[in-house]
Chains A and B, each alone.
Chain A
Amino acid sequence: MKARIHVTLKNGVLDPQGKAIEHSLANLGFMGVEAARQGKYIELDLAHSNRDTAMADVEAMCKKLIANTVIENYTIELE
């Protein structure tokens, strides 16, 4: 089973890297980009066969290590 995890900065947390991307896109002539936020994407290959246990484990992994919940949110997709 695969877990796909997106880690994003919480609203209200300044994202200077996202800002730099936003400015660079405007410099390249791409108009209409109102905001850019940079995050992380992490893929895990799991040996789990039960979805519920997998979800519970990946939740715990996100809370303990993969995301810093002071500044980041995360979403998990299982496949």
Chain B
Amino acid sequence: MKSAVIVFPGSNCDRDMAVAIEQVTGSKPLMVWHQEHDFPSVDFIALPGGFSYGDYLRCGAISARSHVMDAVVKRAEAGVPTLGVCNGFQILTEAGLLRGALMRNAQLKFVCRDVTLKVENADTSFTNSYNADQEITIPVAHHDGNYFVDDETLARLEGDGQVVFRYSENINGSRNNIAGVTNAKGNILGMMPHPERLVDPALGGKDGRALFESVLASIG
């Protein structure tokens, strides 16, 4: 399986993401700098966490308009499995690939700890190796993870199974405790928690591993 990790100025989870992908898929991902206009064909694209452009203007806003994103948008819309974690999630919403927006946490505090998530939909390319309703522990580390969508979109996301992960308690003000959502087609996932940080028991657990195994299984 060929993967690409997109690197923006201020990304800081790009290497963790690369290690997680390599551990699970057995092959090193391409690291693609944001100024590239294009990159070789891959089976999986990951947008890592971090504080790209220092969160200037809005989190992910500037990165979402960088050169490489034209290629990412084109491929994601063509169906390539695309994962955005934390800042990567913010970039996906700012690029218009996912609905909604990520706002300042309701309690105005940076949240950095392990949280319990429920797998709401185990029938996606990102979650097929989890069980439905499985509870997993994944760390979060963000200041702007408060997921907002309007009522109508929220109802559609819920009705169509696009809410993939839900926090077991509301840690940041997100509507309906949403921690991760997909697009309608299901090939683009954005989530605030960091699965790439828990793929090896040496790091305290491996609940994040199944996400990468799911992608691998869905690509075959």
Q: Chain A interface (Cβ within 8 Å of chain B)?
A: 12-14, 16-17, 20, 64-66, 68, 70-71
Contacts and interface: CB of A to CB of B under 8 A. Distances in A.
Contacts of A66: 57
B106 A68 contact: no
A71 B173 contact: no
A65 B61 contact: yes
B104 to A, nearest CB: 6
A16 B65 contact: no
Interface residues of B, number: 20
Contacts of A70: 93, 99-101, 148-150
Contacts of A13: 103, 148
Given A64-B65, A65-B65, A17 B57 contact: no
Minimum-distance CB pairs A-B, first 9 = A70-B101, A71-B101, A16-B106, A16-B108, A68-B101, A68-B58, A16-B104, A71-B148, A20-B108
A8 B100 CA distance: 17
A66 to B, nearest CB: 7
Contacts of B116: none
Contacts of A20: 108
B63 to A, nearest CB: 12
A16 B107 contact: yes
A17 B108 contact: yes
B12 interface: no
B22 to A, nearest CB: 34
A68 B108 contact: no
A5 to B, nearest CB: 12
Contacts of A64: 65
A72 to B, nearest CB: 9
25 contacts: A13-B103, A14-B103, A14-B106, A14-B148, A14-B173, A16-B104, A16-B105, A16-B106, A16-B107, A16-B108, A16-B173, A17-B104, A17-B108, A65-B57, A65-B65, A68-B61, A68-B94, A70-B93, A70-B99, A70-B101, A70-B148, A70-B149, A70-B150, A71-B101, A71-B148
